[in-house]
Amino acid sequence: MPDQWDPDRYLSYADERGRPFVELLARVGAEHPREVVDLGCGPGNLTALLQRRWPKARVRGVDSSPAMAERARAAGIETTLADVREWRPEEPVDVVVSNAALQWVPDHLALLPRLVAAVRPGGWFAMQVPGNFGEPSHTLREELAAEPPYAEYLAGTARPGSHEPTAYWEALSAAGEVDVWETTYLHVLTGEDAVFDWISGTSLRPTRAALPDELWQRFAAELRQRLRVAYPIRAGRVILPFRRIFAVVAVTC
């Protein structure tokens, strides 16, 4: 996973980014878990909701970003700095949650059986990933990144991705009872460059890191212009459709 995250920029849309987590957690039926793990915990603001729901549980966060892990620790979250691909608990846990993190893990479908295997029978595994990678917020960035003079710097840059809901059901179905669904949110944002600001905290980070400052300024100006056309202001607001894919497993084996 990329680790150059800015917690403050990410949290600028905390309410919109947090709603899918709340709706994911609502489908988890654990009553009295002892060990709960949040894979890709970010700054810990959502992990804190796990602590509130299960105050007697040991709740831990895992994140690959030093900045995010530090922010989560400052918020009182027990946090491990690690790549989710390398995470292995000493013994099975009761609940594993991963919210908007696995899209950064290449071939994460192949990783899912091992993550679910970290949950003891009777426990729960819950995940959510964006499913909006065909939207202009992503495709315009990729089109521009393929043009000169940016292409030579951005070839092979990390990019997020996900699969259709059926693929997650198939990857998880052997572990227990699986519930998979999708929701498209209409985020109502303000500001002429609201969509650019949104992706600056997430999918645009690897692009920013790979470009020299002068080229980044050119790239950002052009991308802003293209995004304004794709997401025009209406009555002072910008509508950002955002599809999310959810999967919850009541683990039986």
Average pLDDT, the chain: 94
pLDDT digits (tens, 9 = 90+) for 169-227: 999 999 999 999 999 999 999 998 999 999 998 999 999 999 999 999 999 999 999 99
Query: Among 136, 157, 167, 151, which residue's Cα sits nearest to residue 206?
Result: 157
Query: Among 75, 167, 82, which residue's Cα sits nearest to residue 127?
Result: 167
DSSP secondary structure letters along 186-203: EEEEESTTHHHHHHHTTT
Cβ-based neighbour number of residue 210 at 10 Å: 18
Task: Decide: 243 and 132 in contact? Cβ < 8 Å.
Answer: yes
* Residue 49, CA distances (Å) to 23, 148, 227, 246 in order: 12, 45, 34, 18
Q: Are strands 78-81 and 237-251 parallel, antiparallel or unpaired?
A: unpaired
pLDDT digits (tens, 9 = 90+) for 40-76: 999 999 999 999 999 999 999 999 999 999 999 999 9
The identity of residue 17, as a single letter, is: R
pLDDT at 162: 97
pLDDT at 3: 46
Q: Which of the four pLDDT bands, split at 50, 70 and 90, describes residue 14? A: low
End-to-end Cα, the chain, rounded Å: 28
Domains of the chain listed by start with CATH number? 7-251 (3.40.50.150)
Task: Decide: 205 and 68 in contact? Cβ < 8 Å.
Answer: no
